[in-house]
Amino acid sequence: MEAFTRLTGVVAPLPRVNVDTDQIIPKQFLKRIERTGFGEFAFFDWRYLPDGSPNPDFELNRPEYEGAAILVTGRNFGCGSSREHAPWALREMGFRAIIASSFADIFFNNCVQNGMLPIVLPEEQVREIISRAQRRPGYRLSVNLENQSLYDSEGLEEHFEIDVFVRERLLKGQDDIAMTLEHEDEVAAFEARRPRWLEPSRG
């Protein structure tokens, strides 16, 4: 998993609340067995018209947000079912950080597991970042996970709180497997000490 330390990128605003995982990646696209190939289907029902052409009214289709690395959105983002495909799709769209006033717990954890940084800020600060991104095409933010801050070139600077454990695993780029392998020697020693039970005889 790619480590997350610092990021500077264009901010894409999605000023909608309670965006659930079925909107992020609709259920009909969950048939793939790989972790890839979901980005083109992210926000499918909002992103495309019935004829398959891009919906010009959907916020993230605006050309000034092309290549955005930071998504700023409304409260309770990622609610609904616990599909890990949602952060996979967002990551393939190019997002490495998501800013909201609150996230669904399982979605938050799935983001971390996939090397994405979910940032929780008070509602007022989120609205201000959304407003700046809407008013200024190509608006950029810098995120520094090491000192837990984000800032722009126009004087905005915010500190965000994040669990120490979550922060460290993102800085190291560790998913659950990588964290377990850090203790490979202890696991091997435990396995060597544990009793070995004989299989029951048959017949």
pLDDT band at 35 (very low <50, low <70, confident <90, very high): confident
What per-residue confidence (pLDDT) applies to 177?
A: 57
Predicted model pTM: 0.86
CA distance 5 to 173: 9
Strand 149-151: give its sheet, edge to edge: 117-120, 97-100, 70-73, 6-14, 140-144, 149-151, 157-159
In the predicted structure, residue 36 carries a pLDDT above the cut 80: yes
- What's the pLDDT band for 32 if we cut at 50, 70, 90? confident
Average pLDDT score over the chain: 90
At 178, is the pLDDT very low, low, confident or very high (cuts 50, 70, 90)? low
Residues 6+ apart with CB under 8 A from 179: 169
Do 168 and 95 meet the contact criterion of CB atoms below 8 Å apart? no
Ordered by where they begin, the domains of the chain are 6-193 (3.20.19.10)
Residue-wise pLDDT for 109-160, tens only, equals 999 999 999 999 999 999 999 999 999 989 999 999 999 999 999 999 999 9
Show the beta-strand stretches assigned E in the chain.
6-14, 70-73, 97-100, 117-120, 140-144, 149-151, 157-159
pLDDT at 99 over 90: yes
